[in-house]
Amino acid sequence: MDWGDSPEQAAFRQQVRDFVQSRLPEHYRRKAEGAPDESWSGGWATDRAGEGEAHDAAVDWAHALSEQGWIAPHWPKEFGGGGLSSMEQFIFNAELADLGAPSGVGGSGVSMLGPTIIAHGSDEQKEQYLSEILTGEVSWAQGYSEPGAGSDLGSLQTRAVRDGDEYVVNGQKIWTSGAHNADKIFALVRTDPDAPKHRGISFLLIDDIHTEGLSVRPLVNMSWKHGFNETFFENVRVPVNIVGEENRGWYVGMTLLDFERSNISGAIASRKELDQLIGYLNSDEGQERTQMRPGVRTAITDRYIESEVGFNFSFRIVSMQNAGIIPNYEASTSKLFMSELVQTTARTATKALGLHANVWAEDSKWTPMYAYFTHRYVTTIPNTIGGGTSEIQRNIIATRGLGLPRG
């Protein structure tokens, strides 16, 4: 297989690299080099909601991408997006990951809400919301999952009852990423309780997440990080501001634009983690800590081979998209493989580092690599749940890929 760039692709890759090297804030350059700080485990959204240098870096990076037209690379140009092809998005994401630049700028507003409004929104909604999403100044939270409706999202029960020009919303959402930092929230709500479960749902926009009766409660994970939330709606009155038709929100919410699904960022991040681990183990300190563990070499070699498989999954998927083929079960295969690989890599690293990997404090003299893999061991647990559980991915592979009957 030849994964080399065409002349046009090589030129675009260099353009992205030059842009990142000239505009990436110093805060992210240090993080890319492995320098620990208080936002070690956080991404762009966490930095934006924070204070000091991390916040300033997040804002500056969003402005840089916005000025270049790359804050929403998969949006059509006529709506302010980058208009990049699947292959160009692949190159863009690969270069950002390789240079340690944050991706996912704009969060759910860019990745989910914008494409939904472009495909189904009114002219007024496009004019009001798309421009503010593209500046990176407004943050949206996604209100989909509920305590009894996660993988089976169509079973959601949050009700929105029409009262004149308003809806009265009651219910609960869970795993609402970034809601504690968001300005607004979009949600799937049930507007017809008597309709079949996928038909009585509407896609509701709530312009102020601080509306009376709407409360956000933190879900702090086992690493003492706060990314998820519970969101409660208690007689919340909001204007009737839905995308698409009432009771057709399920189909509206499933909208996706032509964005590349290769997960090349994950493949590159996995390889860089391994490179950092190997570099440490080759140091005097690393060799001293691992010399009594002969199985370490074999385990790390296995992880390196698996990361190469992840690369090839990514290349295959983007090649399919570039040829106009929808990567259906292939994307599930990549998601399943890479989400489990990051967990396996963290386990391998903690075994290689031995008892020292139990030290949580980043600044302890006993802590190898600033406790990076200690934290990763814990924080990668949700990887096989979010974005579709491993069980769901295996079902997709079995039915759509292998043609097996549903069990």
Q: Per residue of the chain (407 residues), what is the pLDDT tens digit?
A: 567 889 999 999 999 999 999 999 998 988 877 655 444 445 787 777 777 888 899 889 999 999 999 999 999 999 999 999 989 999 999 999 889 898 888 888 998 899 999 999 999 999 999 999 998 778 899 999 999 887 788 899 999 999 999 999 999 999 998 899 899 999 999 999 999 989 999 999 999 999 999 999 999 888 787 888 999 999 999 999 999 999 999 999 887 655 657 788 888 888 888 998 999 999 988 887 777 777 888 999 999 999 999 989 898 998 888 888 888 889 899 999 999 999 999 999 999 998 889 998 888 888 888 888 999 999 899 889 888 889 999 999 999 999 999 86
In terms of domains, do 391 and 268 share one?
yes
pLDDT score for 38: 44
Q: What is the Cα–Cα distance from 110 to 86, expressed in whole angstroms?
A: 16
Q: Is 120 within a domain?
A: no
Q: Establish if 119 belongs to a structural domain.
A: no
- The DSSP 8-state label assigned to residue 323 in this structure reads T
Helix or strand or coil: residue 218? strand
Asked whether residue 124 is assigned to any structural domain, the reply reads no
CATH number of the domain that residue 243 is part of: 2.40.110.10
DSSP E strand boundaries for 154-212: 159-163, 166-174, 184-190, 201-206
Q: Is 186 exposed, middle or buried (0-12, 13-18, 19+ CB in 10 A)?
A: buried
Q: For residue 88, give the DSSP letter.
A: H
Q: Is residue 95 part of a domain?
A: yes
Does residue 76 share a domain with residue 152?
no
Buried b (16+ CB within 10 A) or exposed e, 335-368: bbbbbbbbbebbbbbbbbbeeebeeeebeeeebb
* The total number of structural domains that make up the chain: 3
Residues 246, 274 share a domain: no
The answer to whether residues 40 and 68 belong to one domain is yes
- pTM score of the predicted model: 0.84
Same domain, 391 and 278: yes
- pLDDT value of residue 124: 97
Are 346 and 291 contained in the same domain?
yes
Residues 181 and 310 in one domain: no
Q: Cβ contacts of residue 119 below 8 Å, gap of 6+?
A: 252, 255, 257
Indicate whether 181 belongs to any domain.
yes
313 and 232 assigned to the same domain: no
Q: How far apart are CA 202 and CA 114, in angstroms?
A: 17
Give the position of tokens 């992840």: 310
Establish if 171 belongs to a structural domain.
Answer: yes
3-state secondary structure of 174: strand
What per-residue confidence (pLDDT) applies to 151?
Answer: 76
Q: Is residue 259 part of a domain?
A: no
Q: What is the CATH number of the domain that holds 335?
A: 1.20.140.10
Do the strands 184-190 and 201-206 form a parallel or antiparallel pair, or are they unpaired? antiparallel
Q: Establish if 178 belongs to a structural domain.
A: yes
Q: Which domain holds residue 90?
A: 7-105
Residue 224's pLDDT is 81
Main-chain dihedrals φ then ψ at residue 146, nearest 5 degrees:
-130, 165
Based on the fold, state whether residues 280 and 247 are members of the same structural domain: no
The 8-class DSSP code of residue 388 comes to S
Domain boundary among 56, 87, 105: 105
Same domain, 206 and 243: yes
Q: Do 225 and 282 fall into the same domain?
A: no
Domain CATH for 94: 1.10.540.10
Instruction: Kindly state whether residues 248 and 299 are assigned to the same domain.
Output: no
